[in-house]
Structure 1
Amino acid sequence: MKLKKLLVCGLATVMLMSMSLTAFAATLTADEQSIITTLTNAGVPAQYVTQAQNYLAGNATDVTAAQATSINAQIAVAKTTAGSVTSFAALTTDQKNTIAADLSTAGQAIGITVTFDATANSIKAVDASGATVLSASLDTATTPATVIKATGVNMNTTIAIIAVLAMALVACGVVVSKKRFAENV
């Protein structure tokens, strides 16, 4: 009987530990969603809109209303600069430089430094910690950008669950030993 109880307790512990890592889908705030909507309405290719959405959803700090307003204004200015041109390759050098400056100003609103290399036709965005958020070659409209996203495992939940399980096991041991002591007296 004792072996059966230990086996059940051990299996329950293993099952709980295996379920301790959960995934949470990050959501966008209304201000962050307004940026995505503005990018979409400006005709930005879907691959870049998706990258912006992934960055905003995965970023630990939310974009404020003032930041969103500033970014949306810069997107509108860049859209006006591009006019009816829908491909980066079709823009003039002056248009590219002006749009790059607009992107840099928009990025500064949320702590991202955007640089444009005119000779290589590439854009690089780096966040405040120095991590590369976006590195894109813009020679053709079909060249996808490479997003480098910082990832990692957060073990806080697992450690907390293991600690609770350990306390529960100790409590069970105390109860069983008290019960046995009471039966023997």
Structure 2
Amino acid sequence: MGLIAREFKAEVEALSTAQHKNLVYLQGYCVHDGSQLLIYSYMENGSLDYWLHEKTDGASKLDWPTKLKIAQGASCGLAYIHQVCEPHIVHRDIKSSNILLDEQFEAYVADFGLSRLIQPYNTHVTTELVGTLGYIPPEYSQSWIATLRGDIYSFGVVMLELLTGKRPMEVFRPKASRELVVWVQQLRREGK
């Protein structure tokens, strides 16, 4: 089974297993002539990434109550896949483009193509390193183990992104301020 077929199967399994008000709702899927299609509920406001980085003045349109609502909704969806649904799910690609927003700016965790199902009481799943640059936990560079903690780290990066409006990795910036987490840690050391 190819990588794309595995990712498609993982997403269908995860979304069939996990149903929560802050997870995208899988309406259906289709496999036909080598094409794979997932049908989700429509999200009128697109992704958090769109509002923070693509939409002109989008970040400034997100007031503090809306940002808090988005953070709470996304955290509830993540907590559900980690603690409640059986088997638990390690998402492995939490990022602002995988947090979708409906008409009322309710947040929905999306894109379970890289996720892995794990049995309760396990704390990790051994798998290949995946994720998006800027969201990958530092410990992943030393091991090939995807963990629930890794998802939490990535979610923390999303929260910093939501608070600062900055991308997690800006390759065209000076090296010292290229990574959002490193930049925030430096500001913290300086008491800023």
The alignment's TM-score, normalised by the length of structure 2, stands at: 0.29
The alignment's TM-score, normalised by the length of structure 1, stands at: 0.30
**Which of the pair has more CA radius of gyration?**
1
The structure with the greater share of residues assigned to helix is 1
The structure with the greater share of residues assigned to strand is 2
